[in-house]
Structure 1
Amino acid sequence: MARKSSTSGIGAPVWQGNWQVRSFHGFHQAREGGVGQWTFYVSSFSAPARDGSGQCNVLQFGGGLEQVAIDSQDRITILGRKYGRSRWTH
């Protein structure tokens, strides 16, 4: 699915409690304690198709959700790039 918002770029990290968060082209990314990989937050999933692919909802920075593709190998597609399970949380 194509991006709905025109938000571009990577925002400066800010702290929310023990979490460092930022905008990644309009998507919410976080990392605990300000270390490690930045991860996207997936809130929900559609029923999978026969091939195991489907859709999921990813949190946008500042609130809201955006539906993106997820494949049979649990990779979400953000801005045309696939991110494996280590790069998102549910």
Structure 2
Amino acid sequence: MALHEDNRVFCEKTELFSDSFYGTITKIYEHSALVKVEPDQLSKKETDKIDSFGDLVVIRLKELQLVDAAGKPMDEPEDEEPLEAAE
């Protein structure tokens, strides 16, 4: 998946969150991303789970969909340059 930091994303319901939400990727890991949840996106019960992290959640990359400012799905960005093997 070619998601990057500062991408706006949408997450469907997960095992941890019973509501879908929008957020912005703040850090990418190997198979997951740290996402800053947009205000008022989660119910109070679920927000209590992440308050100690300042509305940050770790979500598997496969659960995230890249979206535009209006919340419409977008194609994933292509990597700028293909990686080449070192000589």
TM-score normalised by structure 2 residue count: 0.34
Larger relative CO (CA 8 A, sep 6+): 1 or 2?
2
Higher strand share: 1
Higher helix share: 2
Which has the higher Rg, Structure 1 or Structure 2?
Answer: 2
TM-score normalised by structure 1 residue count: 0.33
